[in-house]
Amino acid sequence: MDLASILGFTTAVLAILIALTLEGNSLAALLNFPAIIIILGGTIGATVFSYPLKELLHVPQLLKYVFQNDNVDLENTIDTLVNLAETARREGLLALENHVQQFEDRLLRHGITFAVDGIDPEEIRRVLENEIIRRQQFFKTGAGIFETAGGYAPTMGIIGTVIGLVHVLSNISDTTKLAAAIAVAFLATLYGIASANILWLPMAGKLKARAGEQAVKDQIIIEGILDIVQGKNPRLIRRELGILAGLDTFNEG
């Protein structure tokens, strides 16, 4: 699991609950299941209405990127490319064909395959950059889905509050209980705003961060593969890719 995501979400929830408790509120009194149903059901329903089904089917995979510890290891990527460069220098580009299937990264597999097949470097760059665009679009759409949910949630909270107030005001029998009933109705607004700002919008932000990390890694892969095709010195490749990755230190072995 991604520690930052879990820690951030937990901290935000605890901060709100502790603050409410310090104000003298009972945590049990803060539960309003009809409001929860309105917020979650309304937010999810409106978000689903906003996107094609084929994009919504990616949500489980997007959640994996949000909550799983899937850090991009740029140093390991550079090491892999340098090792491939050394192999290509000793044995030729065709020797890299034996390494293709061991790579999990699809962009790296495709790039090495193109290099082995003797495809023109500019054509390799064009094809791989198109694949990067597709990858970035995946993250962009995912972030958009959660941002959309974050936009709907507060509105659903207001709707829930209005429904609660209508129910309260249409069933006034004991005016002494009116203030408490109105307070309960406003829990829907709290749920809507809280869910938007500690769940949906942070999830969108995490996907944007993942997209940035992936973009750097993908650019390193492209430049590394093209350097291998051009027969550059592995030491020079390591230095160039290290600078591209923004690494302060990297091995020169």
Give per-residue pLDDT as tens, 86-144: 999 999 999 998 888 888 889 999 999 999 999 999 999 999 999 999 999 999 999 99
Q: Which amino acid is at 231?
A: G
| pLDDT tens digits for range 49-90 | 999 999 999 999 999 988 887 667 899 999 999 999 999 999
pLDDT of 24 above 80: no
- With contact defined as beta carbons under 8 Å apart, do 197 and 150 qualify? yes
**Which range has the worst mean pLDDT, 11-25, 99-113, 187-201, 228-242?**
11-25
Distance between CA 79 and CA 220 in Å, rounded? 11
Distance between CA 112 and CA 118 in Å, rounded? 10
The residues spanned by each domain of the chain are 31-245
* Chain position carrying tokens 């020079």: 236
* DSSP-derived secondary structure letter, 2: -
- With contact defined as beta carbons under 8 Å apart, do 68 and 207 qualify? no
Closest CA to 189 of 214, 215, 150, 160: 160
Distance between CA 223 and CA 181 in Å, rounded? 63
Name the more confident of 156 and 20.
Answer: 156
**In angstroms, how far is CA 146 from the centroid of its own chain?**
10
Of the pLDDT bands very low, low, confident and very high (cuts 50, 70, 90), residue 164 is confident
Closest CA to 3 of 73, 66, 59: 66
**Which range has the worst mean pLDDT, 37-51, 65-79, 198-212?**
65-79
What local confidence, expressed as pLDDT, does residue 25 receive?
72
The vertex-8 CA angle with 69 and 24, nearest 5°, equals 150
pLDDT of 149 above 90: yes
Two tokens, residue 225 = 């593969």
pLDDT of 23 above 80: no
